[in-house]
Amino acid sequence: MNIYDISKKAGVSIATVSRVLNNSSKVSEQTRRKVLAVMKENSYTPNAFARSLGLNSMHTVGIMCADSSDVYLAQAIYYLERELRNNGYASMLCCTGYQLEEKEKYLQLLLSRNVDAIFFVGSNFVEDTDDRNNYLYTTANRIPIFLLNGHIAAPNIYSVLCDDYQAILDITNEVLRTGSHQPIYLYRSLSYSGRRKLAGFTDACLEHGLSFEEERSFLCPVSLDNTREFLSSLEANGVVFDSVIAADDELAAGAVKYALASGKSIPGQIQITGYNNSMFSTCSTPEITTIDNRVEFMCTTAVSLLMQAFQHKSIPAKTTFSGTVVHRQTTRPF
């Protein structure tokens, strides 16, 4: 449905349609009502209008994330915006929280602004079932979409992600080889990336012949104080652990707070590892051994792929890269 269709259906000229949209006083009330009725019948919006007039690219790209104040996501937004800007594209930011209904609702805010593509930052955008991922499929019917740290196989959906499984496998192996026998794993979600990380932890434990008769992985409340209290209560409930593999640096920083509060030496009595190589890992004392999952590389790669797609080049549906262990003070020398 475009301006020509509207003018045809309403039996008026294109100029008249323009005048109606423009609130011009040169249109009779009767004509105005007729044109508006046709627009309404055909779910016609000014943006679709702009698009039909050849304004089909606003040179604007959407960035969706759960929470832009999250340290890791804030980094990703920073790099994406910088790379897009360097390519002449503006960035439209939209934060959705973690609920599917909100994601679907706020996605419309970006789509109604005619963005040329959307980056979904964080694996929480990949839902469990095809049905719940429908919002991604429908969006990809219109514009290319990129999942950063998530993956789903579907047309016009591109993934750029760190090999989280391998990274957690590596760091857990290091902790187990330097004398820890009772590792626990802390996480705050089992998103796509969260499940891959947990699998890496589990496989490393199995490689070292550790039993899983007792629970070794725990959904842990976020915020430093809550993590500290959670670990204290685990200990009070008889869970024995000599190392904490955390799914992100904030959880690891909470574990450091726990060790300091309960008088455990780090890394002598307890080893702790994080993930993301964020400021949580350097701000803590002792500084935290963590995984550098290359957020800058991920973002520059994703924008570079998008620019190639805009030039009608073929780009890979999935690009995976490896992370690296960054050795600091919360683990024993490896």
In sequence order, which ranges of the chain are alpha helices (DSSP H)? Answer: 3-10, 14-21, 29-41, 46-52, 71-86, 100-111, 134-142, 164-177, 192-207, 224-236, 249-261, 279-283, 295-310
Beta carbon of residue 185, minimum distance to a copy of itself (angstroms, whole number): 22
The answer to whether residue 31 forms part of the interface with a copy of itself (CB under 8 A) is no
CB atoms closer than 10 angstroms to residue 40: 9
Query: How many Å separate Cα 194 from the centre of its chain?
Result: 12
The answer to whether residue 90 forms part of the interface with a copy of itself (CB under 8 A) is yes
Which of 36, 74, 140, 317 is the binder for a copy of itself (CB under 8 A)?
74
Q: One symbol per residue from 260 to 299: x for binding a copy of itself (CB under 8 A), - otherwise; what is it?
A: x------------------xx-xxxx--------------
Beta carbon of residue 229, minimum distance to a copy of itself (angstroms, whole number): 14
The answer to whether residue 60 forms part of the interface with a copy of itself (CB under 8 A) is yes
Using CB under 8 A, which residues numbered 105 to 164 contact a copy of itself?
A: 106, 109-110, 113
DSSP 64-129: EES-TTSHHHHHHHHHHHHHHHHTT-EEEEEE--S-HHHHHHHHHHHHTTT-S-EEEESGGGS-SS
Measuring CA to CA, which residue among 166, 163, 169 is closest to residue 319? 163
How far apart are the C-alpha atoms of 194 and 3, rounded to whole Å? 47
The answer to whether residue 14 forms part of the interface with a copy of itself (CB under 8 A) is yes
How far apart are the C-alpha atoms of 177 and 205, rounded to whole Å? 11
Which of 8, 33, 41, 46 is the binder for a copy of itself (CB under 8 A)?
46
The answer to whether residue 37 forms part of the interface with a copy of itself (CB under 8 A) is no
For tokens 């219109």, the residue is 142
Which residue's CB is nearer to a copy of itself, number 106 or number 137? Answer: 106
Which of 69, 129, 211, 314 is the binder for a copy of itself (CB under 8 A)?
69
Which of 5, 32, 36, 52 is the binder for a copy of itself (CB under 8 A)?
52
The answer to whether residue 43 forms part of the interface with a copy of itself (CB under 8 A) is no
Which of 94, 126, 204, 234 is the binder for a copy of itself (CB under 8 A)?
94
The answer to whether residue 18 forms part of the interface with a copy of itself (CB under 8 A) is yes
How far apart are the C-alpha atoms of 103 and 64, rounded to whole Å? 9
Burial track 273-300 (b if 16+ CB lie within 10 A, e otherwise): bbbbbbebbeebebbbbbbbbbbeebbb
Measuring CA to CA, which residue among 120, 57, 56 is closest to residue 90? 57
Which residue's CB is nearer to a copy of itself, number 260 or number 317? Answer: 260
Which among 86-94, 136-144, 214-222, 262-270 is the span making contact with a copy of itself, rule CB under 8 A? 86-94
For tokens 């450091």, the residue is 256
- Chain positions contacting a copy of itself, by CB under 8 A: 3-4, 13-15, 18, 20-23, 46-47, 49-50, 52-55, 58, 60, 63, 67-69, 71, 74-75, 77-78, 81-82, 85, 90-95, 106, 109-110, 113, 224, 253, 256-257, 260, 279-280, 282-285
